[in-house]
């Protein structure tokens, strides 16, 4: 009740003041209004200045929020574009590799079956075998030569309907008859891909001697850089397929034959697609 009564008194005084101002002579009214304006001017200035600053702050905050959002959007777009460029570059490189493989298959006098490498290694060692996505439904049989566009890599071993295991020529269980292309010196090539302790060694595939040829005639001159090819003996690897080149030659301690360390032409660490030699 007290608050209501105070409000009534306040509004009554305000109404009375308005009536007084309205009934003042024009000259007196002007003076009163001027005095009121002078009295309220500092408060009006402060209020207007505060409102302007508040508006400026709100505008700045909004602008910064917009810039942050825009930067995030641009960063996202840039990341997506860089990923797409990388993806397209990978596709381009793969297409170039496939074109090279196709060109090799067309130029080869042999019937070749293109296959993709789907797995590397087995449970017993490192990088001694690979798995390809072609099997007996595609005409693949055990003991067929497998090669990359630059050289022999191994032979088929276990063949299933849609996949095959390939034993690499770096495996010590892999043996093939090879010859020096320059002078037809024959020898037996064997992989050296396992250390004495019996554990697989990934490093040996990148070394200068992943394989060696033994029993080369002591009467034939073998020099570093000689090209090594398959001899055709053994009915697995057709004659004349490229294997590698000689990097070191030594006479066996018996003096009866020579041994040559061979660097393979094919990079077994980078195999993506290979060929099965069907005939």
Q: What's the CATH number where 204 sits?
A: 2.40.10.340
Domain-terminating residue out of 107, 128, 144:
107
If asked whether residues 120 and 62 sit together in one domain, one would say: no
* Residue 4: per-residue pLDDT: 60
Domain-terminating residue out of 44, 79, 107:
107
If asked whether residues 179 and 257 sit together in one domain, one would say: yes
If asked whether residues 229 and 266 sit together in one domain, one would say: yes
If asked whether residues 60 and 154 sit together in one domain, one would say: no
Write down how long the chain is. 279
If asked whether residues 239 and 128 sit together in one domain, one would say: yes
What is the 3 state secondary structure string of the chain? CHHHHHHHHHHHHHHHHHHHHHHCCHHHHHHHHHHHHHHHHHHHHHHHHHHHHHHHHHHHHHHHHHHHHHHHHHHHHHHHHHHHHHHHHHHHHHHHHHHHHHHHHHHCCCCEEEEEEEEEEECCEEEEEEEECCCHHHCCCCCCEEEECCEEEEEEEEECCCCEEEEECCCCCCEEEEEECCCCEEEEEEECCECCCCCECCHHHHCCCCEEEEEEECCCCCCCCCEEEECCCCCCCCCCCEEEEEEEEEECCCCCEEEEEEEECCCHHHCCEEEEECC
If asked whether residues 137 and 270 sit together in one domain, one would say: yes
Contacts of 133 (CB under 8 A, 6+ apart): 115, 116, 118, 162, 163
Q: For every one of its 279 residues, what pLDDT tens digit does the chain have, with 9 covering 90 and above?
A: 556 666 566 556 655 565 565 555 655 556 666 665 565 556 556 655 766 676 666 666 667 777 777 777 777 777 677 766 765 655 555 655 555 555 555 545 678 899 999 988 754 455 589 999 999 999 999 999 999 888 999 999 999 999 999 999 988 889 999 999 999 999 999 988 743 333 434 444 444 457 899 999 999 999 999 999 999 888 889 899 999 999 999 999 888 999 999 999 998 888 888 999 987
| Residue 265: domain span | 112-277
CB-CB contact of 183 with 198 (8 Å): no
Domain-terminating residue out of 90, 107, 124:
107
If asked whether residues 82 and 119 sit together in one domain, one would say: no
If asked whether residues 134 and 255 sit together in one domain, one would say: yes
- 166 has which bridge partners? 130, 156
If asked whether residues 124 and 93 sit together in one domain, one would say: no
CB-CB contact of 146 with 155 (8 Å): yes
Q: How many domains are there within the chain?
A: 2
Phi then psi for 35, rounded to 5 degrees? -65, -40
Encoded tokens for 183: 């002078």
If asked whether residues 129 and 251 sit together in one domain, one would say: yes
If asked whether residues 158 and 254 sit together in one domain, one would say: yes
pTM value > 0.85: no
If asked whether residues 62 and 5 sit together in one domain, one would say: yes
* Residue 53: per-residue pLDDT: 72
Distances (CA, A) of 230 to 134, 136, 175: 24, 25, 11
């Amino acid at each position: 009740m007290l608050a209501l009564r105070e409000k009534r008194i306040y509004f009554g005084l305000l109404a009375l003041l308005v009536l007084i101002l309205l009934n003042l002579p024009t000259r007196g009214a002007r003076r009163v209004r001027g005095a009121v304006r002078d009295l309220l001017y500092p408060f009006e200035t402060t209020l207007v200045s505060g409102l302007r600053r508040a508006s400026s702050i709100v505008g700045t905050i909004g602008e910064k929020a917009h810039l942050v959002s825009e930067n995030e959007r641009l960063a996202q777009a840039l990341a997506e574009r860089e990923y797409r460029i990388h993806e397209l570059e990978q596709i381009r490189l793969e297409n170039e590799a496939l074109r090279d493989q196709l060109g090799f298959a067309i130029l080869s006098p042999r019937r070749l079956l293109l296959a993709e490498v789907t797995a590397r290694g087995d449970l017993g060692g490192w990088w001694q075998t690979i798995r390809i996505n072609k099997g007996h439904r595609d005409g693949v049989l055990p003991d067929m030569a497998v090669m990359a566009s630059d050289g022999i890599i191994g032979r088929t071993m276990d063949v299933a309907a849609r996949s095959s295991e390939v034993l690499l020529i770096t495996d010590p269980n892999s043996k093939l008859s090879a010859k020096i292309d320059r002078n037809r010196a024959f020898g037996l090539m064997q992989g050296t891909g396992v250390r004495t302790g019996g554990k697989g060694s990934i490093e040996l595939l990148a070394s200068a001697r992943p394989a060696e040829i033994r029993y080369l005639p002591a009467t034939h001159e073998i020099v570093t850089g000689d090209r090594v090819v398959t001899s055709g003996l053994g009915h697995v690897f057709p004659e004349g397929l490229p294997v590698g080149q000689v990097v070191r030659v030594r006479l066996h301690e018996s003096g009866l034959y020579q041994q040559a360390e061979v660097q393979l032409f094919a990079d077994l660490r980078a195999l993506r697609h290979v060929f099965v030699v069907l005939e």
